[in-house]
Structure formats: C-alpha cells, structure tokens
Chain A
Amino acid sequence: MKRYKDNTKPWKGPYAPYDLVKEAFIAVCAVAAFAILLSILFSSPDDHSSTIKQWSTQKPADFVTSATTQLGGTSGTAEYGPPYNNNGEGTHVAFINPEKWIGVTHPIDTEKDFVLGPLESIPQNPELKAAVVTWKAAPEKTKKEWTANYAKGLEKASESGGQVTGVPPGNYGPVPVLMENLLKLAQSGGVDGALNASKQFFQTDYTKPLLFMADGGLLEERAHEQHLEGAPQWGMMNETGSYPGQVWLWLYSFWYQIEPFKTNENADLEIMMIMGILSLAFICIPVIPGVRTIPRKIPIYKLIWREHYAAGAAPPSPGSTPEAS
C-alpha cells in the first residue's frame, strides 16, 4: 500500500505583495452589498405563528380529538417518554438509550397540564366542576374506556360554525362536557395562556403549547403545504415559501428518506449516531487513510496551483512513487 508522508516543507520561496486588510474590507463590503441586494429583491419569509385559539376555531374536531387523547394519555406527547414523562421507552439502538438514561427533565402530564389544569381555571361552572370531579374519581381503566370511545365517536363528527356536532351517543362519561368547555376556552384564547410552563407573569418557555399543537393537525397541515415535512419531503432543508432553506442539512435529511430508517421508530437515534460518527470522521479527515489521499489521486490541485507548477515546478503524475521522507 502506498503511504504518503506529509511532505510539506516550510516555504522558502518568493513572496508577492498581498494586501490582507484591503481584501477583508472589500470582502465585508461585497458580502454586505450582496445580502442587502438579496433582501431588496426577495425580502424574507415571516409566516405568522399558529395559536391554539386558531387551531380550535379552524379545526374544532381535530382539536377535540387531540385533546381527548391528551386526557386519555394516548397522545404522542403523553406516550413520548423521557424527557417529558415515563410513559414510553424512548428511542434506542440495542442497549443504547440516552433518553432513558437521562430521564425526565421537562415533566409533562398531559391529562393535568393540557386539559384539567386549563379547565380548572374556568370559574362558576357547576356542570364542569361536577364533570371534573367525576373524571378524577374514576378508575384508570374507565378513563381509558371513555376517552377511547369518545375518540372513536369523533371520527363520525362534523364541524359547523366552530362547533363539533354529530358525535353518536356512547359511553363517554364526563368527557363530552370536559371537551365542550375546553373547546370554548381554547377558542377564547384561554388555553394558549394557561399552557405556559411557569406560573409567573413573564413567559419564555413555550414547550407545553407547542407540544399540544404538534400532536394535532394544524401545524402538520401548514407544514405539508409548505413542503416542510421531514419524510418524504426532505422538509428539514426547506424554508417556508420559495426561499432557500438549510441546505447544509442535506445529509441529515437524506437518511430519513431511505430504508431501514424510513419506517423505523428508532430512526431518530440511529441517524443521530450516524451523523455523530460522520461528523467525527469529518474532523479527523487529515488522519483517515484513504480519505486524506483522495486529493492527491484526483488532482484538482493541479488546476488550483497551475500557475505555480508552470512557473517551474511539475506536479507528480498519478501513481508516482511516494516521495522520500
């Protein structure tokens, strides 16, 4: 196997004048001018954020269905596992399960945080209060039965004037009363406010309202329209509108489009591990045999340094013997 020893000796040859400061100044002016030009020509996107108020008003059945699963503990967030709760295993590759090892750091109880908590902020509603009491007193098995039945019933529901109608009669317990009041509260904007992390006036953490909305259909519908979904749209790379996005995420996005990752529930961890290894390899290119000799074998350098070689130095031809150390 040919071994190339790093053979660059300190340059003792001629220097030509080169004004680095002027070059840097020109570069800053040029980049600033180009960025300003692009901004004048194309501006930038700013699609307004969705709110739970909008979600519940535009898609009441979708909102109520999602809220029912939050109450019943069967939503994506409810069954997520760490770092939100211990109701799921978390993603793992063989025995490697970082989520589980680190545990719950941002506790979310969807039944309390997303449904009962906001409902308990509604004053002077005896029917609602009674429904909450009934719910809390019921055994777990009954709660699951009520919410599963109601979610099934909602499949036959229709939407009219921001209301959910047409749910067939069934064994739902107090769930319809809870959901009717939650929907009203959401449509007035009350759930947006109630779902913030801390009980203080100033808020900066939007984890709870975001997770609640992400379990529903509105964000996903908007994302689909804008080609932002991960698979099969390669959405990670995309920006809203027709703007260029995060092109540098191409390799990260790629893995999600192919088997076995496309249909694997542990794809997130698997792909993170692959990208971790590739990133490390990227840093270590100078010491990876094979990869570090490709530039010598595919001599693009001959184009870059053609003036230097023509002036009195010839590059080695492909496959030439390695230089003496």
Chain B
Amino acid sequence: MTGAAVAVMGAVFNLNHPAKVVHWHFFQMSVANILVIILMFIVFFAAILLPFPGAAARRTARGQGGAS
C-alpha cells in the first residue's frame, strides 16, 4: 500500500488487506458488510422464533391473575 504503514496489534486474524467485494449489476458490497447484513436478518428471525425463558412463571401468573 503506497505510503501507508499498517499497524495491527495482536489480532488473531489479519483483516488488513483490501476487502473482497461482491459484484452484482450495480450492486457492489464488501463481504464483511454483507455478512453483517445477513447476520442481522438471521438474528432478527432467531429472536422472534426462539422460545423465551420463563414460560412456567408466565403460565403461573396467568393462572393466578386470570386472563385479561
């Protein structure tokens, strides 16, 4: 890299090289950014699909307080 000294302190994986890029028509995005976006969708759907702990306590509360 012309005129640049890259400092990487103790990284296990060195990401200090020009990014790999995904090309599709006019769409061009770095692999890292695409991974982040894909991960966001995965996390969102996982969040709404995975069961949330405390179901027993909520069942008890409904039984005691009665449904609305």
Find out whether A and B make contact in their complex, taking CB atoms under 8 A apart as touching: yes
Interface of A toward B, CB cutoff 8 Å = 11-18, 40-43, 45-48, 50, 54-55, 58, 218, 221-222, 225-227, 232-234, 237-245, 247, 250, 257-258, 300, 303-304, 307, 311-313
Q: Is the pair A257, B57 in contact by a Cβ cutoff of 8 Å?
A: no
Number of interface residues of B (CB under 8 A): 47
User: Is the pair B1, A227 in contact by a Cβ cutoff of 8 Å?
Assistant: no
Query: Is B32 a contact of A307 with CB atoms below 8 Å?
Result: no
Contact across chains for A222 and B4 when beta carbons are under 8 A apart = yes
Partner of A241, one of B18, B62, B64: B18
Q: A54 to nearest B CB, angstroms?
A: 4
Question: Which residues of B, 13-68, contact A by the 8 Å Cβ criterion?
Answer: 13, 15-21, 26-33, 35-37, 48-49, 52, 54-55, 57-62, 64-68
Shortest Cβ distance from residue A231 to the other chain B in the assembled complex, whole angstroms: 9
Contacts of A50 in B (CB 8 A): 3-4
- The closest CB in chain A to the CB of B63 belongs to A14
B55 and A307 within 8 A (CB)? yes
Q: How far is the CA of A58 from the CA of B3 in the complex (A)?
A: 8
Closest partner residue, chain A, to B56 (CB atom): A16
Asked if B10 and A40 make an inter-chain contact with CB atoms under 8 angstroms apart, the answer reads: yes
- Ordered by A's residue number, 20 sampled pairs between the chains whose C-beta atoms are within 8 Å are A11-B68, A14-B62, A14-B66, A15-B65, A16-B57, A17-B54, A18-B54, A43-B11, A45-B6, A54-B3, A218-B2, A227-B28, A241-B15, A242-B31, A243-B15, A244-B33, A247-B36, A257-B28, A258-B26, A303-B49
Q: Which residues of B have CB within 8 Å of A234?
A: 27-29
The answer on a CB contact under 8 Å between A43 and B8 is: yes
Distance from A196 Cβ to chain B, minimum over Cβ atoms (Å) = 21
- Report the Cα distance A55→B4, complex, angstroms: 11
Determine which of B8, B10, B11, B35 lies in contact with A244 in the assembled complex, contact meaning CB atoms within 8 Å.
B35
Decide: A42 near B12, CB < 8 A? Known: A14-B65, A233-B28, A258-B26: yes
Distance in angstroms from A161 CB to nearest chain B CB is 17
Instruction: Determine the distance from Cα of A50 to Cα of B38 in the docked complex, in whole angstroms.
Output: 34
Name B28's closest neighbour in chain A (CB-CB).
A234
Contact partner of B5 (CB less than 8 A), chosen from A48, A238, A240, A245, is: A48
Q: Are A43 and B17 in contact (CB under 8 A)?
A: no
Contacts of B49 in A (CB 8 A): 303
- What residues of B have a CB within 8 angstroms of the CB of A247 in the complex? 33, 36-37
Establish whether residues B29 and A241, one from each chain, have CB atoms under 8 Å apart when the complex forms: no
Q: A16-B58, A58-B2 are in contact. List 4 more A-B contacts (CB 8 A).
A: A11-B68, A42-B13, A222-B1, A313-B67
Interface contact B30-A227, CB-CB below 8 Å: yes
Cβ–Cβ contact B36 & A41, under 8 A: no
